[in-house]
């Protein structure tokens, strides 16, 4: 059985500090949900509340309609994978994976079958007699995941499980996790501050900031239609460009005007906007480097970042604002060059003073 997890109006306090503030969330059966956000936003605390490792001060948490926030961790039918592996160094891989099952009186035949199947699934069957000290970091993390799999829980909780791995191993293990979630039919919740992990693994992402949820959506909804300026800044590398602009709403669509006579016609209807001051936002891939005189604006190149398949060009506009645009991988642009910048207004965004977003209709 898999889990439908319902979190209703939960609050968590540590002394006088509120770290989760009236948060509600529904996680579907078999969904891979990622909690994404900066350090201190409350994502790991929320995960630990689901697991029963932190108490709930207000609100409720339910699995398949049964309230669990008043149950001890062992009765919630949840398995957790920690950042630190937490393996017993004196036990073999097989014994580490079997330990929890033996403690609850599962028969040896069932344990053996589950451990063997988990080893096959994780491709660590040949490591069963080794001790953790004889394994690489990636292999130890797979053992920790295997220890969770053998429990056959309703839900898996992953608390930044890739943080201790080096860059290359992190990429490989991320791919393995993406493959694993299709082999293990269960609800999974994954906590990370790494947007690439979130975009790669998630069915939906919960972007958290400052004790609350900023946005819930699929990876591309989060990237293409960020609900707030925080989401637009946190998701995407480089972050979205933000430019101070004056808005002309005399036409059907908003035209954004920058200092120096620059103007960009957006695909945002003039009648969509409320009164107030707005900031213009656009992703770097929607700002193309052109010869001077052929774009919406001109700037002087500050920095060039070559990524192989494309080149990121950091240019300074006449009023001192910096814009990151994109050029071909074999770009001939050099630092100090004067370049044109062509903005795709159909992919533009506007953010009000509270940080809330309005998007072009085609985005």
For residue 12, what pLDDT is reported? 96
Q: What is the model's pLDDT at position 11?
A: 96
CATH tag, 241-359? 2.40.50.140
Name the token pair of 33: 């949900």
Contacts of 36 (CB under 8 A, 6+ apart): 43, 192, 193, 195, 198, 205, 206, 207, 208, 234, 235
43, 46, 50, 54 alpha-carbon torsion, rounded to 10°: 120
Q: C-alpha angle 112/114/118, rounded to 5°?
A: 120
Rounded mean pLDDT of 330-334?
94
Q: Examine domains 5-231 and 241-359 and report if their fold is the same.
A: no
pLDDT of residue 103: 84
CB atoms within 10 A of CB 62: 16
Give the pLDDT of residue 35: 97
Kindly report each contact of residues 84-88 with a partner whose C-beta sits within 8 Å and lies 24 or more positions away, as own/partner. 84/164, 85/132, 85/140, 85/141, 85/143, 85/144, 85/164, 86/144, 87/132, 87/140, 87/143, 87/144, 87/147, 88/132
- Confidence category of residue 61, pLDDT binned at 50, 70, 90: very high
Higher pLDDT, 116 or 165: 116
pLDDT band at residue 363, thresholds of 50, 70 and 90?
low
Using the predicted structure, report yes or no on whether residue 141 has a pLDDT greater than 70.
Answer: yes
- Per residue in 29-44, pLDDT tens? 999 999 999 988 999 9
Q: What is the mean pLDDT of residues 12-36?
A: 95
The structure tokens listed for 242 are 């933000």
Residue 241: which pLDDT band, with cuts at 50, 70 and 90?
very high
Please name the helix (run of DSSP H) or strand (run of DSSP E) that holds residue 266, with its range, or none.
strand 262-269
- 5-231 domain in CATH 3.40.50.1970? no
Encode pLDDT of 312-329 as tens digits. 999 998 888 899 999 999
CA neighbor of 248 nearest in space, from 220, 221, 226, 270? 270
pLDDT at 301: 96
3-class secondary structure, 268: strand
Asked if residue 359 has pLDDT above 90, the reply is no
Q: What is the pLDDT of residue 362?
A: 63
- Report the pLDDT value the prediction gives residue 171, as an integer from 0 to 100: 83
Q: Identify the pLDDT of residue 1.
A: 64
Q: Give the model confidence (pLDDT) of 276-304 as tens digits.
A: 788 999 999 999 999 988 888 899 999 99
Q: Where are the domains of the chain?
A: 5-231, 241-359
Query: How is residue 170 written in tokens?
Result: 């992190």
When pLDDT is averaged across residues 9-23 and rounded to a whole number, the result is: 94
Predicted confidence band at 189 (pLDDT cuts at 50, 70, 90)? very high
pLDDT of 215: 97
| Percent of the chain whose predicted confidence (pLDDT) is above 90 | 63
Q: Find the mean pLDDT for residues 318-344.
A: 93
Going by pLDDT thresholds of 50, 70 and 90, the confidence category of residue 203 is very high
Q: Which of 29, 21, 28 is nearest to 49 (CA)?
A: 21
């Amino acid at each position: 059985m898999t889990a439908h997890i319902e979190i209703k109006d939960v609050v968590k306090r540590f002394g006088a500090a509120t770290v989760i503030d009236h948060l509600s969330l529904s996680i579907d059966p078999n969904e891979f949900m990622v909690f994404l956000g900066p350090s201190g936003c409350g994502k790991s605390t929320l995960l630990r509340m689901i697991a029963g490792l932190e108490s709930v001060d207000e609100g409720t948490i339910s699995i398949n309609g049964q309230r669990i926030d008043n149950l001890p961790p062992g009765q919630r039918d949840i398995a957790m994978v920690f950042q630190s592996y937490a393996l017993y160094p004196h036990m073999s891989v097989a014994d580490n994976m079997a330990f929890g099952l033996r403690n609850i009186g599962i028969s040896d035949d069932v344990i053996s079958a589950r451990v063997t199947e988990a080893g096959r699934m994780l491709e660590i069957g040949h490591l069963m007699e080794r001790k953790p000290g004889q394994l690489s970091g990636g292999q130890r993390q797979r053992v920790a995941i295997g220890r969770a799999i053998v429990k056959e829980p309703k839900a898996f909780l992953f608390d930044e499980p890739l943080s201790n791995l080096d860059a290359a191993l992190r990429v490989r293990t991320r791919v393995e996790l993406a493959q694993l979630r299709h082999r293990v039919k269960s609800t999974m919740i994954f906590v990370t501050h790494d947007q690439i992990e979130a975009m790669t693994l998630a069915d939906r992402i919960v972007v958290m900031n400052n004790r609350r949820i900023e946005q819930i959506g699929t990876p591309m909804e989060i990237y293409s239609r960020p609900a707030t300026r925080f989401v637009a800044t946190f998701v995407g590398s480089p972050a979205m460009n933000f430019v101070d602009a004056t808005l002309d709403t005399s036409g059907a669509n908003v035209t954004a005007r920058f200092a120096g006579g620059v103007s960009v016609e957006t695909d945002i209807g003039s009648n969509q906007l409320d009164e107030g001051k707005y900031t213009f936002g656009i992703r770097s891939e929607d700002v193309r480097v052109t010869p001077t005189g052929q774009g919406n604006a001109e700037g002087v190149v500050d920095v060039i970042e070559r990524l192989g398949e494309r080149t990121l060009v950091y240019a300074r506009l006449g009023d001192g604002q910096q814009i990151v645009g994109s050029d071909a991988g074999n770009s001939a642009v050099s630092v100090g060059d004067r370049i044109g910048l062509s903005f795709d207004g159909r992919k533009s965004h506007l953010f009000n003073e509270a940080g809330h977003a309005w998007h072009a209709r085609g985005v």
